[in-house]
């Protein structure tokens, strides 16, 4: 098993990419700390992992708060003895996030606090724990819109994910010789609740989907497999990457027929 004996902390683990990744990592032998603000759904993830024969615990944490991030890392070390893999996956896409004129300052701040500051705080407290374990992998969830303007305005989200990419590259350079790899997972448009709630009309869905060469939305399970690659020794020479898993959307110049 590719992650046998490893411990992974996954934020945003109550559903979507986080839940599927918890299941994928556990199936490969990792102990999982599921972190979220939704304790009921987070507990469901833990139950699913255990039903599949894996080991998991839940920790409630708001990633925009330093004390919560410090506590979640401490919980991983206290309960599992170490931390090898940090998946900073928690994020929001607010329904009132639009262009510069329409987006209110409070929506901007909320998005930045969770999507960008949350990754910073995860790394601030998580990287020292990974160092104590002798090295490991940090995976930060960014997005294809970090490198490509979105057809549907979502300025705060787009800017926050661009920040995640920049931070990922710098952390990768800083920690490259300390046995820590840091990579950004950049999903394309996915059939997850978060995006489907944002693209709340068929017109909005088609406006996004028409740009995807593969002609469909991605699945959370597909992102989990990409995260598994970045977490495992299969990617032992991979760090600082903008790892696109996007159905080809960032490679498209014109809409395919």
Domain 7-243 annotated CATH 3.40.30.10: no
pLDDT in tens, 147-203: 998 877 899 999 999 999 999 999 999 999 999 999 999 999 888 777 778 778 888
What mean pLDDT comes out for the span 218-231?
Answer: 97
Predicted local confidence at residue 180, as pLDDT: 98
- pLDDT tens-digit series, residues 96-142: 999 999 999 999 999 999 999 999 999 999 999 999 999 999 999 99
pLDDT of residue 207: 77
Q: Rounded distance, CA 38 to CA 132, Å?
A: 29
**Cα–Cα distance between 88 and 201 in angstroms, integer?**
29
Is 256 a residue whose pLDDT tops 60? no
> What are the residue boundaries of the structural domains of the chain, listed by start?
7-243
What digits encode the pLDDT tens for the residues 188-201? 988 877 777 877 88
204: left (phi over 0), alpha (psi -120 to 50) or beta: alpha
Mean predicted confidence (pLDDT) in 59-82: 98
Distance from C-alpha of 178 to C-alpha of 127, rounded to nearest angstrom: 10
Please state whether beta strands 242-245 and 180-187 pair in parallel, antiparallel, or not at all (unpaired).
parallel
Measure Cα distances from 112 to 33, 108, 218 in Å.
24, 6, 25
Cα 14 from chain centroid (whole Å): 12
Per-chain mean pLDDT for the chain: 94
Percentage of the chain modeled with pLDDT above 70: 98
pLDDT of the residue at 255: 56
In this prediction, residue 8 carries a pLDDT of 99
Q: What is the pTM of this model?
A: 0.94
Confidence of residue 257 (pLDDT cuts 50, 70, 90): low
pLDDT of residue 187: 97
Question: Which residues carry out catalysis?
Answer: 157
pLDDT tens per residue across span 4-23: 999 999 999 999 999 999 99
d(CA 1, CA 15): 24
Q: Are 182 and 239 in contact (CB under 8 A)?
A: yes
């Amino acid at each position: 098993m590719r992650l046998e004996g490893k411990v992974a902390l996954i934020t945003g683990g109550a559903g979507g990419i986080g839940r599927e990744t918890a299941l994928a990592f556990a199936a490969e032998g990792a102990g999982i700390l599921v972190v979220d603000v939704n304790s009921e759904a987070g507990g469901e993830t833990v139950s699913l992992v255990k039903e599949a024969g894996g080991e998991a615990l839940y920790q409630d944490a708001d990633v925009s708060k330093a004390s919560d991030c410090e506590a979640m890392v401490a919980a991983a070390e206290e309960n599992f003895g170490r931390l090898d893999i940090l998946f900073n996956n928690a994020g929001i896409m607010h329904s009132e996030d639009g262009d510069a004129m329409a987006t209110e300052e409070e929506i901007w701040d909320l998005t930045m606090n969770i999507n960008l500051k949350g990754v910073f705080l995860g790394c601030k407290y998580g990287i020292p724990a990974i160092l104590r374990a002798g090295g490991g992998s940090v995976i930060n969830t960014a997005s294809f819109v970090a490198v490509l303007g979105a057809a549907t305005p979502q300025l705060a989200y787009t800017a926050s994910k661009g920040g995640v990419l920049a931070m990922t590259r710098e952390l990768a350079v800083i920690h490259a010789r300390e046995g820590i790899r840091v990579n950004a997972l950049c999903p394309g448009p996915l059939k997850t609740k978060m995006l489907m709630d944002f693209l709340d009309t068929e017109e909005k869905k088609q406006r996004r989907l028409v740009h995807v060469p593969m002609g469909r939305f991605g699945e959370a399970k597909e992102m989990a497999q990409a995260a598994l690659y970045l977490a495992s020794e299969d990617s032992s020479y991979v760090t600082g990457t903008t790892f696109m898993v996007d159905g080809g959307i960032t490679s498209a110049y014109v809409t395919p027929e």
